[in-house]
Structure 1
Amino acid sequence: MPDPIPLRPRRDDTAADVRSLVQLGRQEPPPAPTTAAPAPGPPADDADSATLQAALADAGITTTAEDQAAVAALARLDTATVQAVARWMKTKKPDTKPTKQEAP
């Protein structure tokens, strides 16, 4: 078997990771990621909030703190969606009384 031919090591900076390039002084360290809170959504529309509050009151629901938070979140949606939710709350359930099964 013939002896291997000695070759110079191949130098390819594109194959290095950033940490190695920083250690070699070839690249600046990347900026540290920020831990900023996500941007809040659009502000709640007062008219939409009032629509939802009125729908809850018409349905006879006494609102709690969690309900208020849900109303505030829903009021951030577009007006058509808020009106649909309010319409759903006003829809009455059909009376479904159990029927008596007559014995034979």
Structure 2
Amino acid sequence: MKFLAAFTLVPILCFAFQDLGSEYGGMGWLTDGYAAWPMMVGPVLMLLLFIKNRELIRDPRKGSNFSQTIKIVAFLFLIPNVFLALGYSWLAVISVLSTLTILVADWQLKKQARA
């Protein structure tokens, strides 16, 4: 859960720091890429974390919080990454696919665990 929190908070903090620093702090070197790249890398790292801890999803007693949390965070990263893929860089498609993989694989693992 610590890694998931880090993968979630770092892109959000970079985005907030870029917005405040470039507008009010006079830091012109803080470009949009400073916020966009962590937003695109976060879902890929979450996918690796998901693959490493997929046994938590199969056992609902041990990993119900992990499953719910990673689904919520993945969905929250899906929306900005779709806009990043359309307007900023086509590389955000990798993040969108990583997010969709997390959502679909979680559903499949829970379906297999029930059977």
Range of TM-score over shorter length: under 0.3
TM-score (norm 1): 0.23
TM-score (norm 2): 0.22
* Higher RCO (Cα < 8 Å, 6 or more apart): 2
